[in-house]
Chains A and B, each alone.
Chain A
Amino acid sequence: GAGVSQTPSNKVTEKGKYVELRCDPISGHTALYWYRQSLGQGPEFLIYFQGTGAADDSGLPNDRFFAVRPEGSVSTLKIQRTERGDSAVYLCASSSPSGTYNEQFFGPGTRLTVL
C-alpha cells in the first residue's frame, strides 16, 4: 500500500517568505508527527497530532511555525517569515495507536532551503 508522502520534495525560498509543506499520512493512521533534520543530526521532534488536534506541540521552535490537520488526515506545516536557519529536511511520520508496535512510518521528507 501507499506510504507516507510529502510534497514538495524540495523547496527553495528567500528569507522572509512564507512556505507550506504538505504531508499525506498512511490511510487510517490517526497519529501524525512532524520532525526537522539538520545536516549531520538526528531528526528533531516538532509537533504531534492525534486526529485533528495537536496533542504535543512542544517542539515547535517559535511562533513562526504552525501546523494544521483540519480533517484528521493531511497535514500542512506552515513557516512564516522564513530564516536561513530554517533550512533543513522536514520529515513527516504517521502511526496507528492501535498497532502493536507503535511503529512510526516516515515519509521521504521535504528539503527546505532558505536563501
Chain B
Amino acid sequence: DAKTTQPTSMDCAEGRAANLPCNHSTISGNEYVYWYRQIHSQGPQYIIHGLKNNETNEMASLIITEDRKSSTLILPHATLRDTAVYYCIVRFTQGGSEKLVFGKGTKLTVNP
C-alpha cells in the first residue's frame, strides 16, 4: 500500500470548514483513498473514500487532485465533536477484505 503524509496537527474554529490535506504521491492506479477518524478513547470510524472523483457524504467531502497524488478531507462546518485524529489511508481494494495501514494521522482540534 502506498505511503501517506499528513500534518501532525491542525486547529479549526467551530463552525468553520476544516480542510485536512494528505499526500500520497506513490499511489497506484487501482488504489483508493480512505479516511478514518479516531475520537479519544474510541475505535477508528470510517468517514469516506474515493478513487479519482470527488466524493461527498453526510459526514464530509473528499477532494482528490487530478494526478491523484494528494487529497483533502473537508468537514464543512466543524463542531467540537469533530476533534479527533484523522487518518488518510490508501489501499488497493474496495470490495475485498484487506488490512488498513494507519500512519500517525492529523490531530484536529476544533476550538470554540
* Closest 7 pairs between A and B when the two form their complex, measured CB to CB: A106-B43, A42-B102, A31-B97, A45-B99, A103-B46, A43-B102, A97-B97
Please report which residues of chain A, range 51-66, place their CB below 8 angstroms from some CB of chain B when the two chains form the complex: 55-56, 59
State whether B99 touches A97 (Cβ < 8 A): no
Task: Provide the residues of chain B in CB contact with A55, threshold 8 Å.
Answer: 97
A91 CB–B CB distance under 8 Å: yes
B residues whose Cβ falls under 8 Å from a Cβ of A: 41-46, 49, 85, 87, 93-105
* Complex partner residue of B104 from A4, A41, A102, A106, CB under 8 angstroms: A41
Tell me whether A95 and B104 are in contact in the complex, defined as CB-CB below 8 angstroms, given that A4-B43, A106-B44, A108-B43 are known contacts. Answer: no
Please report which residues of chain A, range 28-52, place their CB below 8 angstroms from some CB of chain B when the two chains form the complex: 30-31, 33, 35, 40-45, 48, 50
A93 CB–B CB distance under 8 Å: yes
B37 to chain A, nearest CB (A): 11
State whether A45 touches B101 (Cβ < 8 A): yes
Task: Provide the residues of chain A in CB contact with B101, threshold 8 Å.
Answer: 45
Bound CA span A42–B85, Å: 9
Task: Provide the residues of chain A in CB contact with B49, threshold 8 Å.
Answer: 101
A residues whose Cβ falls under 8 Å from a Cβ of B: 4, 30-31, 33, 35, 40-45, 48, 50, 55-56, 59, 91, 93, 95, 97, 100-109
State whether A93 touches B43 (Cβ < 8 A): yes
A100 to chain B, nearest CB (A): 8
- Supply 14 A–B pairs (Cβ within 8 Å), ascending by A: A40-B104, A42-B87, A42-B103, A42-B104, A43-B102, A48-B99, A59-B99, A97-B97, A101-B49, A101-B94, A102-B95, A102-B98, A106-B42, A108-B41
State whether B100 touches A43 (Cβ < 8 A): yes
Bound CA span A112–B49, Å: 31
Task: Provide the residues of chain A in CB contact with B103, threshold 8 Å.
Answer: 42
The chain B residue sitting closest to A43, CB to CB, is B102
Bound CA span A2–B50, Å: 27
B15 to chain A, nearest CB (A): 28
